[in-house]
Amino acid sequence: MYSKMKEFLKSELDTLLEQKLYKHERIIESPQAAEITVNGKNVLNFCANNYLGLSSHPELIKAAHEMIDERGFGLSSVRFICGTQDIHKTLEKKVADFLGLEDSILFCSAFDANGAVFEPLFGSEDAIITDALNHASIIDGIRLSKAQRWVYKHADMRNIEEEDPATGKMLKGLEKCLIEANEKNCRFKVIATDGVFSMDGDIANLKDICDLADKYDALVMVDDSHSSGFMGKTGRGTHEYRDVMGRVDIITTTFGKALGGASGGCIAGHQEIIDWMRNKARPYLFSNTLAPSVVGATIKCLDILTASTYLRDKLEENTKKFRKEMTEAGFDIIPGEHPITPIMFGKYDNCSALAVEFANKMLEEGIYVIAFSFPVVPKGKDRIRVQISAAHEPEHIDKAVKAFIKVGKELKMI
Ligand SMILES: *Cc1c(COP(=O)(O)O)cnc(C)c1O
């Protein structure tokens, strides 16, 4: 009975190929690190979320091994039946302390945490106010709740409504959305935002968001997946960076990026919210518990980050160096402080093809970077998104900048 669907999918897949939207995966034949093996060739990796270089850190690997020996491979259970070990409670406590919140609850991914967080808290009499560029998992999580939804123009805090010249759609600022939600007498309101937006590496203006939340009696929820572990002076996240620790009500984050890079995530927040999640959150109640090895290594990760800011400091230095040298070389870079460094191609002819060609040539130079084009980013905003890591040594950054300059000259960009 598959034949009709087979034909349909084949034709759809062909269309993706023709439109160059088909996602081809490069195969890595080594652990995740600054230097990886791709197609038998050693290359420097500049596109991983391995911000702190912990993905293959010897201490995390050792902690994972030890936890397999001490607590086994898996638990074959959800948390509330027989899937909670002492180590799960330890990790929940450590994550909450690290983020500066009362308690936390573990999930198998941040995608699950975002899928879980809205539905138990917000019903049809409530309002969720969400940034237009929020991560797919926040969008899906909101869809799973029955709450009323307002989408505000990315990072726009104002009380305005204006037409988007590109689409003709009316766009609202955050304050405008809050006023409308108040006029509807919504019971609870929450502002949901990414802490850092992954395409531009821009950082949510949590100070203004928290001020507006206070003014209009709303909660604040931040997904800090691209920040936890390194943003802010001690790496606690964007709430530390923006000096609003204690003012954010709910933080979701991943252990799959800076915090070890394996998998898992959490919701952290006020005690009652976390208790409610343990009783009501569906991806928690109906999905297996986090594997002991991942729990053990993530505990070790938080211990390392709490003991010293060395790794986040090194990441900050690396990021400054790369951004400075690339700007001096004449590349068009979105300014900022995040290790996500987008090199923009919009001002050149044929920018989509150029970005792809550039990335291919960089691989020949031994540098692994990825080009992003429409529909992942808006038309004309084609880019190569570089991600800096604390695993990089200054020589690695030098080599990458050199390769960028060589290829940039070859392609007559600089
Ligand atoms: C990566 C990411 C996620 C998903 O994290 P996983 O733990 O891999 O599911 C969720 N939200 C944001 C903002 C992310 O960047």
Digit-coded pLDDT (tens) for 260-303: 999 999 999 999 999 999 999 999 999 999 999 999 999 999 99
**Whether residue 387 has its Cβ less than 6 Å from ligand 1:** no
**Percentage, residues of the chain above pLDDT 90:** 95
3-state secondary structure of 413: coil
Please report the pLDDT score of residue 375 as a whole number. 86
Please tell me the distance between residue 23's alpha carbon and the centre of ligand 1 in angstroms: 19
Residue 289 to residue 411: CA distance in whole angstroms: 50
Contact yes or no for 224/206 (Cβ under 8 A): no
CA distances from 384 to 76, 300, 334, 367 (A): 41, 33, 11, 12
Please tell me the distance between residue 150's alpha carbon and the centre of ligand 1 in angstroms: 22
User: At residue 61, does pLDDT exceed 90?
Assistant: yes
pLDDT digits (tens, 9 = 90+) for 100-117: 999 999 999 999 999 999
| The ligand 1 atom nearest the CA atom of 265 | 7
**Whether residue 198 has its Cβ less than 6 Å from ligand 1:** yes
- 120 token code pair: 């138990």
Please tell me the distance between residue 201's alpha carbon and the centre of ligand 1 in angstroms: 14
Taking the CB of residue 249, how many other CB atoms lie within 10 A of it?
Answer: 18
The residue to mutate among 117, 254, 266, having the most atoms of ligand 1 within 8 angstroms of its beta carbon, is: 254
User: What mean pLDDT is predicted for residues 130-144?
Assistant: 98
- 87 token code pair: 């180590």
Residue 366 to residue 273: CA distance in whole angstroms: 48
User: What mean pLDDT is predicted for residues 371-376?
Assistant: 90
Q: Pick the residue with more confidence: 23 or 280?
A: 280
Active site residues: 198, 226, 257
- At 21, the pLDDT band (50, 70, 90 cuts) reads confident
- Domains annotated for the chain, with CATH where assigned, are 20-51+309-410 (3.90.1150.10), 58-307 (3.40.640.10)
pLDDT digits (tens, 9 = 90+) for 161-182: 999 888 899 999 999 999 999 9
**Whether residue 110 has its Cβ less than 6 Å from ligand 1:** yes
CA distances from 92 to 102, 234, 253 (A): 10, 19, 12
User: At residue 374, does pLDDT exceed 90?
Assistant: no
Q: What is the pTM of this model?
A: 0.97
- At 98, the pLDDT band (50, 70, 90 cuts) reads very high
Residue 293 to residue 62: CA distance in whole angstroms: 10
